[in-house]
Each structure stands twice: as structure tokens, then as C-alpha cells.
Amino acid sequence: MTKPEKSIKGSEVTLYILQQNLFSFEQWLEIESEYRLEPFFSVLDLRPYSQALCSDTKRGRKPENREAILRALLVAPFENISEFTALRERLVSDIRFRYQCGFELAKRVPSISTFSRVFGQIMEKEIAQKLFNDLVQQCLDEKIIVADTIAIDSTAIDAYEKKQPKSKSQETGNATWGAKYDTFRNKITWFGYKIHLAVDTSSELPIALEVTPANINDGDMGPTLIEKVAAQIPEGRLKYVIEDSGYDQQKNYEAAKAQRAQAIIPLNLRNAQEPPEGFSFNGTPKCSMGYEMVYWGCDKNFLKFRCPHALGKVDCPNGMAWCSSSNYGMVVKINVKDDLRRFSLPHRGTKRWEELYDKRTSVERCNSRLKENLTANDLHIRGIKKVTAYIYLNAIVLLATALASKKINCSPKQKVA
């Protein structure tokens, strides 16, 4: 999406956004707030969700505008506002912002306690989760999310709670101590939570998420996320599930296979058992002389491997005659179903496998947007249920922005303000 162009005619300001095929969240953030909020809200029909926040009883004073409060809470991460106090101050001081959120200008802005109370209702009634799932469906319908290939990973977020000893914090089910290694094998510890994301590699948009205490193993959450993705997309759509070596556990391969998808996961060689006799660690069969055979394509579920001497890869002292009387050389076929973890289709180490695994960076970029561009790592609430609702609000911003971008780009030029 290109940077907006403004034309000024008298006191009228018109904003035009030129069409571009690719959605760029970073470029969207460069648009001035007063111009980006209208298209953002235009794709959100919040009436059914705001009605769910209203009390069934007709007693007492008339409740505050729940839809306006919900709009304000949704747009807060977009505006880098992470506290109810700061959100109310912005609404009081910025009349345009208050109007775009749907508040009546003649009335006072709701109190901080009202915002907190409505957020509590969003948490208890799982409003944010429902809106997130509905927006994922809209993105699927609009063909923004493809969902044939997903990437799964987690990211650390710091807690707002007071730090506690590890032995005590693990009993609460909320924030606790987590540890991981960075790219340079330095151990990093934090007190807080993990966001586990399943992201569409084509659009880099989240399809499913979970929030857990920081000590939960990444691999344990893989099957849960795969099941949540499968519940969102048409049956048979999912083809590949891409995860790093931290997910190299049998259950993650089986979870992908249950959806008729292929898990693309590097083998974790730390503490790994020796491969079966006659195979290398990556599942490549060895010939009788101990040379790794050459991958030569596949036939349905079977991987095909050929004699390395026949293909000029090695100079075997026994030639081809040792293993085969054919000029083609010895051929070995492996059924990937024999060992879901050891064998992969495409075969590990091939160009196609590497191309697929490179798509894992999509989930890293999505995590980065949540934490650096939005407010996922700037918590001012306590407890895992509240944190989960808060992370969903941040994820909703990514989905709604993509839908708004698609709506704007449907014509070469579109007046949006």
C-alpha cells in the first residue's frame, strides 16, 4: 500500500490511496491517525458484539455506549495506547478521535472504571476471541488469507504482575519464569507469558493463537494450534505446517498428518537417538558402501533415491555392479508413512524443503508487529485471562487493517476521508 496523497481544495482535505497488490502493515502505520481510523472501523460491524456487552436488566441508569467503548479498546493498540488512563485522556483531549470512536461529543467521556469494567466483560464473554475468529473467516472469504501453508512459533511477553519465585509462580497458572536461547546460544529468562501463533505464510496474518505461562513448552502447543486452524479453514485446505526444531516431537507430526498436511520441521539433533541402521539423520538411505544416496523425486507417498555413483556424486571403488546389475543403478523407495518424523515429503535438505522452511519467517514478522508496532508487550493488566483478551485485541488490529487495505485497494483510487 503506497503512502497517501493529499489534495487540498479550500478547507476540504481529500486523501487518496493508490492501489497496490501487497498489504503492508508498516506502511499503513505511516498514514496519519485521522485518516486511517475511518477505513479501519468501516470493516468492523461491532453491533452484535456490543449488544452482548449490554446488561439484560433494564434497571438503573442508562449504560454507556458499549459500541463506542469497544471501538476505543480495539483502536488503542493501533494508537500505541496500552493503559485505560491514557486512552481516556486521549478521548478527552482529541475530539476527532472521540468522534471517530463513536462517542457523543456533548457527553462526558466514560470513566476509567467503566473502561475497565467493559474490558472485564470482553474477557468473561470471550468477545475478543469471537471477533477474531469472525475476522479470520472474513479474510478467508476475501481471499486475503490463503491458509494452505501455516507457520507456528511462540514469542515471549513480559508480565505486569509482581515477580515471584519460580516455585510459587508455577502454581498460579498465570505469569511465571520462562527461558530460551537466542540466535547466539545465549540464555534469556523473563517473567511473564508466551504468545503461541499460527500464521498464514502468504498474508502473514494470524489464524489462531494461544497465551500460556512462560514455562510452557512450545512443542506442547503445536497440536492445539493446528486443530484451531483446521476448525477455521475448509477441510483439505492445509498442506504444510512449518515449525522450528523446538517442535520436533512426534505429536506435532501426527497432528499435521491428521489434517492431511506435511510437517516441515528440522530435526533437533540435541539428545537425538541414532538413526536406524542404513540411514543418515535426515532420513536419507545409505548404500551398501555407506554413501548417502541421491534424492530423485517422489511417487505419491514414496521418496525415491538413486545410487550416488551412477549419478557421479561419488567414486565408489565397487562401481554400480556391487549393488545393482542395471545401468540405472540401485534405487531405494521409502514410504514417508513408515516414520512421520524421520521422513518428509518433500525430502529434508532439498531445495523445495528449504523454500518451504524459509516461509517460517512470516510468523516471526507477525510476532514482531504485535510487540513492536502494537502493544502486545506493554501489559498493564494482570492474570492470564485478561492478558489473553488483550492479545486478541492486538491480533484483531492486524486482521481489520488487512481487510481495510483490501477494501481501499478494490479500485485504483478511493476517497477515504
Q: Residue 309 is which amino acid?
A: H
- Report if residue 389 sits inside a domain: no
Note the pTM of the prediction, 2 decimals: 0.88
pLDDT value of position 394 = 97
**pLDDT given for residue 64 in this prediction:** 67
Cβ–Cβ < 8 Å for 159, 191? yes
Say what the pLDDT of residue 8 is: 36
Q: How far apart are CA 352 and CA 342, in angstroms?
A: 17
200 and 86 in a single domain? The answer is no
Give the DSSP letter string of 310-332.
Answer: TTTSS--TTTTTTT-SSTT--EE
On whether residue 377 sits in a domain, the answer given is yes
Report which of 287, 298, 293, 291 is spatially closest to residue 352, judged by C-alpha positions. Answer: 298
Cβ atoms of 275 and 247 within 8 Å: the answer is: no
pLDDT of residue 60: 43
Q: Give yes or no: residues 153 and 213 share one domain.
A: yes
pLDDT of residue 59: 52
Residue pair 208/232 in contact by the 8 Å Cβ criterion: yes
In a shared domain, residues 288 and 240: no
**pLDDT score of 2:** 43
- Name the 3-class secondary structure at 299: strand
Domain co-membership, 328 together with 257: no
The CA distance from 260 to 278, in Å, is: 28
DSSP summary character for residue 64: P
Which residues of the chain register pLDDT less than 70? 1-23, 55-64, 271, 410-417
Domain match, 239 and 336 both: no
Residue 309 resides in a domain: yes
CB atoms within 10 A of CB 238: 21
Alpha helices in 181-240 (DSSP H): 218-232
Q: What is each CA distance from 221 to 54, 152, 188, 228, in whole angstroms?
A: 34, 9, 20, 11
Identify whether 135 is part of a domain. no
**CA pair distance 15, 416, nearest whole angstrom:** 6
- The answer on 374 and 256 residing in a single domain is yes
Please provide the DSSP assignment of 105-133 as one string.
TTSPPPPHHHHHHHHHHHHHTTHHHHHHH
Residue 199 lies in a domain: yes
Residue 201 lies in a domain: yes
Residue 79's pLDDT is 93
- Containing structural domain, residue 21: 5-129+404-408
Looking at residue 13, what is its pLDDT?
Answer: 43
Taking the C-alpha atoms of residue 100 and residue 79, their distance in angstroms, rounded to an integer, is 13
Quick one: 125 and 50 in the same domain? yes
pLDDT in the model for residue 7:
39
Same domain? 214 vs 189: yes
Does residue 210 share a domain with residue 241?
Answer: yes
The phi, psi pair for 324, rounded to 5°, reads: -155, 145
Contact criterion met (CB below 8 Å) for 112 and 376: no
Q: What is the pLDDT of residue 322?
A: 77
> Do 245 and 368 share a domain, yes or no?
yes
Backbone angles phi, psi at 60, to 5 degrees: 80, -175
Does 76 map to a domain? yes
Residues 292 and 208 in one domain: no
321 and 218: one domain? Answer: no
Q: Identify the CA nearest to 390 among candidates 137, 180, 123, 175.
A: 123
Tally of domains in the chain: 3
Q: Is residue 50 part of a domain?
A: yes
